[in-house]
Amino acid sequence: MQTLKKRTTYSIGEFASLVGLSAPTIRYYEREGLLKAHRDSSERRVFTDVDIKWVKFLLHLKGTGMSINDLKQYVTWRAMGDETIPNRLALLKNTKTDFMNQYREVQHHLQILNDKINWYEAKETGNNQDSEAFADYLKRLGHTE
């Protein structure tokens, strides 16, 4: 059973748009050690599909709240081999804990935003009980602060 691997490579511009970043940002990430590019005969960066997967993974981590510095730490540990798996796991779990806390807060913020939108809409359509104040409206809904 023979497997044909597509051997596609990308310039920094192609690569950048494939992962949704700018070329300067890719260079910046490389300077920070988050990725390393191969080079062609004239020192131009060459990227592969594996690099795409890697950057997309980094962006997922970043999207959960990890800073560039956190990512650097992760990448450093990764380069050190399997004995740093506990470190990486702890970092990811802390990230998750922070994320979940933020998540809860943000849901409360959304609730207030929704309440305010509904309050304005009631006010606009004249459905407001005698121009009820927002604070009283919230109290009536059982939403604090």
Q: Report if residue 108 touches its own copies, rule: CB under 8 A.
A: yes
Distance CA 11, CA 50 (A): 14
DSSP 57-69: HHHHHHHTT--HH
Give helix then strand counts, H and E, for the chain: 6, 3
- Shortest approach of DNA to residue 77 CB, angstroms? 17
Q: Report if residue 78 touches its own copies, rule: CB under 8 A.
A: no
Q: Report if residue 43 touches DNA, rule: CB under 7 A.
A: yes
Put residue 63 in one of left, alpha, beta given phi > 0 → left and psi -120 to 50 → alpha.
Answer: alpha
Q: How many residues bind DNA (CB under 7 A)?
A: 21
- Binding site residues, its own copies, CB under 8 A: 53, 56-57, 60-64, 85-86, 88-89, 92-93, 95-96, 99, 103, 105-106, 108-110, 112-114, 116-117, 120-121, 123-124, 134-135, 145
